[in-house]
Amino acid sequence: MTSMPLQRVGQVGLWAHLDSLAISDLRTFAQRCDELGYGAIWVPETVGREPFALMALLSSATERIGLGTSICSIYARDAVTANSAAMTIEEASGGRFILGLGVSHPHLVTKVRGHPYARPVSTMADYLGRLRGAPYRGPATLDTDGPPILIAALRERMLRLAAREADGAFPYLVSAERLAWMRAIVDQEAAQAGRPRPFLAVTLPVVHQADPTAGREAARAYLAPYLRTPNYHASWRAQGMSETDWQMPASDRLVDAMVAVGDGPSLVRRVAEMRAAGADHVALIALGPDGTTEDLATLESLAKAAILRA
């Protein structure tokens, strides 16, 4: 068995918390997304379901679709544990796993987990080194060096680390313009290091709703937790936003830049914009009216609208 080449996840996948679904419904959701042809299911790590346990469940419920963490926190488990978990899911899924890592956010690390929050880039670099050197004595028949690794990155130094020390980057809540800047950064860094062109995946929250007022309500419900997060404040400031944009309940300018609202053709165009800006893979966050991220009706409709070929 060998790891899934990142290109096999295709141009479009989906990103979801999956915490609003019962386990039986979760299996049905994943199976349907697999049938529809989405390239990957990406899951985050906050205070809901544990991502590696969730990946194990999804690997048994699906056959083709890629399975990725976007992201799991490096503060949640040491590098040896993370490596063992990744290798286990890699084996269980038949080589379909992609390991997304991130430094999370200070409030989640310090207040929720009880760890000191260290300098993000140097901490991630140290963790990657420990991950590469982690021992793993799994089955002798397991012929793989491990899954591809993507790094959650929003700013230049973390992007350069992702290009130099991992297989690519996975930014979150960025505009197409910002993504084009990111593409240039990771390509430059990889070329200087003599490494292959990095894989660049990006999330895109979508609301399949022709009424912009109703669509923005769903978008605001989804964005609300991020409006209090300093890491995103810094990212949005770099994207031309100001403090007034992320004050509750968020400006129309911020909402429209971060969330795609519209009918099928307009959402297909937004995905195409992200692809043109340099995304190898766009992970749709299909928002329901209440801002939850597991709206299967939206994913069904967009598959019919040919968004998988955007």
- The predicted structure's pLDDT at residue 173: 97
Return the axis-axis angle of helices 156-165 and 176-193, rounded to nearest 10°: 50
Chain segment 249-301, per-residue pLDDT in tens: 999 999 999 999 999 999 999 999 999 999 999 999 999 999 999 999 999 99
Q: In whole angstroms, what is the distance from residue 19 CA to residue 294 CA?
A: 9
**Does the pLDDT of residue 4 top 60, yes or no?**
no
Q: In whole angstroms, what is the distance from residue 182 CA to residue 53 CA?
A: 32
Q: Side-chain half-sphere of 263: how many Cα atoms within 13 Å? A: 2
Q: Side-chain half-sphere of 10: how many Cα atoms within 13 Å? A: 22
pTM across the whole model: 0.94
Chain segment 163-183, per-residue pLDDT in tens: 999 999 999 999 999 999 999
Average pLDDT (22-51) is 94
Chain segment 55-76, per-residue pLDDT in tens: 999 999 999 999 999 999 999 9
Name the CATH superfamily, with its identifier, for domain 6-207+263-309: Luciferase-like domain (3.20.20.30)
CA-closest candidate to residue 287, choices 271, 299, 279: 299
Q: Which SS3 state, helix, strand or coil, does residue 132 take?
A: helix
CB 84 within 8 A of CB 134: yes
